[in-house]
Amino acid sequence: MRSRTGVPADTVWQQLSEQAAALKHIHLAQMFANQPDRFSELSRRAGPLLLDLSKQRLDAHTLKLLASLADARDLRGWINRLFAGEPINHTEQRAAMHWALRVPVQQPSPVQQQVQEQLDRMTRLVERIHARQWRGVTGEVITDVVNIGVGGSDLGPMMVCRALDDAVDEQAVRTHFVSSMDGSQVSGLLHQLRPHSTLFVISSKSFTTIDTLYNAGTARAWLQRALGNDSAVIGCHFIGVSSSTEKMDQWGIPRANQLLLWDWVGGRFSLWSAIGLPIALRIGMQGFRDLLAGAHQMDEHFGTAPWVDNVPVLMALTGVWNTNILGIHAHAVLPYDGRLKHLPAFLSQLEMESNGKSVTRDGEPVPTGTCPVLWGEVGPNAQHAFYQLLHQGTEPVTCDFIAPARRYHELRHDAAAAELIGQHQLALANCFAQSRLLAFGEAALPPDERLPMHMRYHGNQPSTTLLLDQLDPFSLGALLAAYEHKVFAQAVIWQINPFDQWGVEMGKRIATETLSLLRGAGQAGAMDASTQGLIGQVISKLQPR
C-alpha cells in the first residue's frame, strides 16, 4: 500500500535500513554532543504524559522516515476503522471497541447506551457495597471482595488496584485476586477470610474459562460448607461479570448480580468495562470514571495528532525501529514506583498476546519480526537483579523507564513528608541515572576516571522515559491507553491482527484433552512419548503403596 506521497512500504523499509547504517557508528553520547537540544527535539507531551525519546538511537530524520512508513501502511485509515467500529478483528469477525467503554456520556449512540447502562448498574452495586447495605446470607456486612479471573480478567484490575492505592475510597472494602489454576491462591486466601462477610466476583468473558470456574467452584463449596446449601448463599455472595447471561444463569447467579460486557471487548482490553468492578470498589466510581477520562483523552490524541507529535504512534514506531531495523528483540519495562509493581506483567500480556503473531492479515508469513520478548520489574528491585545484563551483557535490550514526577506532595504539611518526598527523589535519581548510564556508558563518568576492563560500560543502549505528572486515575488511564494504541499501531505496521489469540485457544484445547487422560479417561497412546511418560509418572504416584 502506498502513502499519500506515493512511496511504497518496501522503499521506506530500505530507506530505514540505510538510515540505520548511517547512524551505526555514532554513539548516543556523540548524538547528544552533536545536538545539545536533543531533549526538546525528541520529547513530546500528551495530557499528563511526557514521552522522552532522546535516548533512542535515532534522530529527527529517522522519525520522518518512520512517519512515512506509517503512511505507507495506511495507519490513519486503520485508526479510522478502529474508531468507526468496523470488524477489524477479521479472524473472529468482530470490532475492537474497547475505546467505546471510555467515551463520555455526552456522546450518545446505541453502543454508548449499552455501555452507560452497565456503568449505571456497576455504580449501584458499588454504592450499595460501600454503604454497607450488601449483606451476606447471615446478615453480616461485606468486608472483603475476591475477584476470580485469569488473564485480562485478573491482570488489569489487579494492576490498577495496586497502582492506585493512594486513591482508595474511604468506604472501600478489601479487595483480593485469585487466578492460579492449581488452587494455591484460593486455598491460602480462604484460610484468611470469613465466609459470612466475603463476596466473590467471577470475571470471565465467556464464563467457560476452566481456570476461573474451578476456582469459583472451590469458593462456592467453601461457602456452602460454612453457610449451607441454600440458593441464597450464591445470591448473597457472588457477582458475575461476563458476556454470557445464559452461562451465569446456569451457574446460579441471579440476574440482579450480573454485569455484562460484549464480544467486541477483548480480555486484555477489558479493565475499562464491568471487568473493572474491583477497581471501582477500590477507588470509587468517581475514581473509575477519572480512569476512563484519562484513557479517552489519549484516544482523542491518538486519533487526531500528526505522527511526529502522536505519543502512542511514536512509541510504536520507535519499537519498530528497534525491533526490525536495529535487530533488538528484548524489551524491559522498568517502573520506578512500587505502586506499578504489576505493570510489567500487564504489559507483557497486552503486547505479546496481541502482537506475538507470525501470519499477516492476508494469511501469509510475516516478512519481518513482530513483538519482542517483553518483561520487567520495579526498577529499584531490577537494579539488583538483571541490570547487570543491561549494562554489560552481550544481548541488546531496549527499556521503558516509567515514573511520576510528583509524589507525597499532598503530605507537605505532615511530619513525615520530608522523608517520603526524599525517598521519591531517590527513586527518580536512580531512574534518570540508570537510563543515562545505559545511553552514555563510560561517557557519563568524569573524563579523568579510568576503569579496568571488567568495570567498563559501553553504553549506547536505547531507552525511552515516560514521565507522568503524578500517579492518579486520570494519568494512569492515559498511560494504559497509550500502550494499547502503541500495540495497535505496531500491528498495522506489521500487517497482523492484534485482537485474536488463537495460540492461546489451541493450548486450552490440548490441555482439556490431557486432563481427561490424567483422570483415566481415553488412551494415552494417542500422545507423544514425553507426554505419555509424564502422565504415567503422575498416575503411578497416585497408586496406593
| pLDDT at residue 95 in the model | 97
| pLDDT at residue 328 in the model | 97
Closest CA to 13 of 442, 268, 317: 317
| pLDDT at residue 451 in the model | 79
Closest CA to 463 of 433, 493, 488: 433
Q: Are 463 and 435 in contact (CB under 8 A)?
A: yes
Residue type, 337: D
Residues composing the chain: 545
Q: Is the dihedral of CA 50, 55, 57, 62 positive or negative?
A: positive
Q: Exposed, middle or buried: residue 278 (CB in 10 Å: 0-12, 13-18, 19+)?
A: buried
Q: What's the average pLDDT block by block, 10 residues per block, for the chain (545 residues)?
A: 66 98 96 96 98 98 98 98 97 97 85 95 97 96 97 97 93 94 93 97 94 96 95 96 97 97 96 98 97 98 98 98 98 98 98 97 96 97 96 96 92 76 95 96 78 86 98 98 98 98 84 83 78 87 74
Q: Where are the beta strands (DSSP E) in 189-249?
A: 198-203, 238-242
Residue type, 289: R
| pLDDT at residue 412 in the model | 67
CA atoms within 13 A on the CB side of 268: 23
| pLDDT at residue 321 in the model | 98
Residues annotated as part of the active site: 353, 384, 508
Q: Are 397 and 332 in contact (CB under 8 A)?
A: yes
For 68: left if phi > 0, alpha if psi spans -120 to 50, otherwise beta; the answer is: alpha
| pLDDT at residue 378 in the model | 97
Q: Supply angle C-alpha 302, 344, 507, rounded to 5.
A: 95
Q: Are 489 and 317 in contact (CB under 8 A)?
A: yes
Concatenating the DSSP letter of every residue in 282-322 gives HHHHHHHHHHHHHHHHHHHHHHHS-GGG-HHHHHHHHHHII
Beta partners for residue 148, in sequence order: 178, 202
Instruction: Lay out the sheet containing 258-260: strands in order across.
Output: 174-178, 144-148, 198-203, 238-242, 258-260
| pLDDT at residue 2 in the model | 39
Q: Would you tell me how many other CB atoms lie within 10 Å of the CB of residue 55?
A: 25
Q: Are 144 and 197 in contact (CB under 8 A)?
A: yes
Q: Are 333 and 347 in contact (CB under 8 A)?
A: yes
Residue 540, helix vs strand vs coil? helix
Distance between CA atoms of 82 and 236, rounded to whole angstroms?
40
What pTM was estimated for this model as a whole? 0.95
| pLDDT at residue 3 in the model | 43
Distance between CA atoms of 257 and 239, rounded to whole angstroms?
5
Q: Are 316 and 486 in contact (CB under 8 A)?
A: yes
